[in-house]
Chain A
Amino acid sequence: MIEIKNVGKSFQGKEVLMDISATFEKGKTNMIIGASGTGKSVLLKTIVGLFSPDKGSVLYDGRDFHRSSIKEQKIIRGEIGMLFQGSALFDSLTVAENVRFPLNIHSDLSESEKDDKVNFYLKRVGLENAAHKMPSEISGGMQKRVGIARAIVMNSQYLFCDEPNSGLDPQTAWMIDQLIHEITQEYNLTTVIVSHDMNSVMEIGEYIMFMYRGLKIWEGTKDEILDAEPKELQDFLFSNKLVRTFKGI
């Protein structure tokens, strides 16, 4: 479980996050949605510690990340996996080496144990045949899957995904969504996904938080979202054809 409490962050005097609190539960796919430029990525990067918040705190199962010692932070980081918007695979390493990378940093497994783990997770994401390819030789959807394998190879407890299906065709996007959802349940992860894709929200969003210009405006489940009150959220939903059809507008 991850709790964020009253998180605030500004850049050069411009407030990007204002007093945001939320709880992301274990075994659930939690989603942060909102229009472009509302601070979703900044929030995600603050949670994983790439930015430090000006105000508030982020608790990983009770451990306050930003007030932990460097050593404690490193332990938490070993439990975090992140899938980046552009996959962010290391382009000088092969697919297998990319997945192996976190193991080299954090674990003291033997070389053959690492091999087994890498093979296991590559198989899990359906890429056992691409192990020796370079990231530039595989498709965007495959890169995302490598990114997922790299994110969970450490037996991660927490999985973060920044727009996991941006730039993918609808079918591949659906597949990636399903993969993330399955993995979340299979390994009982606390998963947080940033997205502005209503399809994924309606498919896999178990807890949804809606952001608007640095504020959290609404939270709830996918069953509640279509009847949600706030006008900003209504406008956001209304821009989506699927939702309009769904609601018969």
Chain B
Amino acid sequence: MRRLGEYILFLKKMFSNREPLTTYVRLFFQECINIGINSLFLVGFVSLFVGAVIALQMAYNIVSPLLPKYIIGLATREMMILEMAPTLSAIVFAGKVGSQIAGGIGTMRITEQIDALEVMGINSASYLVLPKILAGMTMLPLLAILSAALGIWGGYLATIFGNLSPTEDYIYGIQNTFVPFEVPFAIIKAFVFGFIVTSISAFKGYNVKGGALEVGKASTDAVTASCIAILAADFILADTLLS
């Protein structure tokens, strides 16, 4: 509970007398590129396979001849868009980018680079963290969209190579009873997760005390705390937005 209070104060510090906005523009783009390079491959790879596995398992589960084959496509679409794309991307993102943020900021803390910024009169919290949070909130939704597309494509490939159903059935399935709101819902989720991962990781790194060992610990803590927060937020968002 005390940590939560400190976290909120940390967020507040970030927005009080920050540098002029122009300072952040370049930093923001740097962070976006950095995040993209860091997580693009892994998110894509994981999504492709998860989509394929969902299709395979659906096919395996359909034993009754009464169930139409297009269910495979429908289920892959539903699971990818609603849950897998935003949540899985966020968890991969926490593992790759979150740990890097906590480690990087933690190192700056223990080597007094943060003190050096403060002595120069810079609000180190906003200078270091704000661009990362904004970049996370921009990039994670994009990653989630990519993830959903790749997952559905992965299911399609599995259908072909695993001979699960005629491809027309799969294509029909992914279009059948599509609720358009699911897409903005997934994007909102990814947006929130992007904030959660980057801010929690930065908070963990920013408050490191000690040496290299503590930095390592902060970066694993950041991943754990981010994952817990992602799943909690996932539940709350599903509960409020889908009811």
B122 at the binding interface (Cβ < 8 Å): yes
Contact A50 B122 (CB under 8 A): no
Contact A105 B120 (CB under 8 A): yes
Q: Please, which residue of chain A has its CB at the minimum distance from the CB of B16?
A: A70
Contact A49 B119 (CB under 8 A): yes
Report if A106-B119 is in contact (Cβ < 8 Å); known contacts: A85-B112, A88-B111, A90-B113: no
B212 at the binding interface (Cβ < 8 Å): no
Q: How far is the CA of A85 from the CA of B118 in the complex (A)?
A: 15
A101 at the binding interface (Cβ < 8 Å): yes
Chain B residues closer than 8 Å to A102, beta-carbon distance: 120
Q: How far is the CA of A88 from the CA of B115 in the complex (A)?
A: 8
CB under 8 Å from chain A, chain B span 83-136? 107-108, 111-113, 115-116, 118-122
Contact A88 B112 (CB under 8 A): yes
New A-B pairs, 13, CB < 8 Å, besides A77-B121, A90-B116, A105-B122:
A50-B119, A70-B17, A74-B121, A77-B119, A77-B120, A78-B121, A82-B119, A88-B111, A88-B115, A89-B113, A91-B107, A105-B121, A106-B121
A20 at the binding interface (Cβ < 8 Å): no
Interface residues of A (CB under 8 A from B): 45, 48-50, 70, 73-74, 77-78, 80, 82, 84-86, 88-91, 101-102, 105-106
Q: Please, which residue of chain A has its CB at the minimum distance from the CB of B110?
A: A86
Shortest CB-to-CB span from B144 to chain A, Å, is 28
Contact B120 A48 (CB under 8 A): no
Chain B residues closer than 8 Å to A45, beta-carbon distance: 115
Q: Please, which residue of chain B has its CB at the minimum distance from the CB of A154?
A: B120
List the 7 closest pairs (A to B, CB-CB), nearest first. A77-B121, A88-B112, A88-B116, A84-B112, A74-B121, A82-B119, A88-B113
Chain A residues closer than 8 Å to B121, beta-carbon distance: 73-74, 77-78, 105-106
Chain A residues closer than 8 Å to B112, beta-carbon distance: 84-86, 88
Contact B122 A82 (CB under 8 A): no
Q: How far is the CA of A88 from the CA of B119 in the complex (A)?
A: 12
Chain A residues closer than 8 Å to B118, beta-carbon distance: 49-50
Q: How far is the CA of A80 from the CA of B112 in the complex (A)?
A: 16
Q: How far is the CA of A77 from the CA of B118 in the complex (A)?
A: 9
Chain B residues closer than 8 Å to A86, beta-carbon distance: 111-112
Contact A48 B119 (CB under 8 A): yes
Q: How far is the CA of A86 from the CA of B116 in the complex (A)?
A: 11
Contact A84 B116 (CB under 8 A): yes
Q: How far is the CA of A84 from the CA of B117 in the complex (A)?
A: 12
Q: How far is the CA of A84 from the CA of B112 in the complex (A)?
A: 7
Q: How far is the CA of A85 from the CA of B122 in the complex (A)?
A: 20
Shortest CB-to-CB span from A173 to chain B, Å, is 19
Chain B residues closer than 8 Å to A80, beta-carbon distance: 119
Shortest CB-to-CB span from B111 to chain A, Å, is 5
Shortest CB-to-CB span from A93 to chain B, Å, is 10
Shortest CB-to-CB span from B140 to chain A, Å, is 23
Contact B120 A84 (CB under 8 A): no
Chain A residues closer than 8 Å to B116, beta-carbon distance: 82, 84, 88, 90
Chain B residues closer than 8 Å to A88, beta-carbon distance: 111-113, 115-116
Shortest CB-to-CB span from B95 to chain A, Å, is 22
Q: Please, which residue of chain A has its CB at the minimum distance from the CB of B104?
A: A92
Q: Which of A48, A50, A85, A91 contacts B113 (CB 8 A)?
A: A91
Shortest CB-to-CB span from A64 to chain B, Å, is 17
Q: How far is the CA of A50 from the CA of B118 in the complex (A)?
A: 7
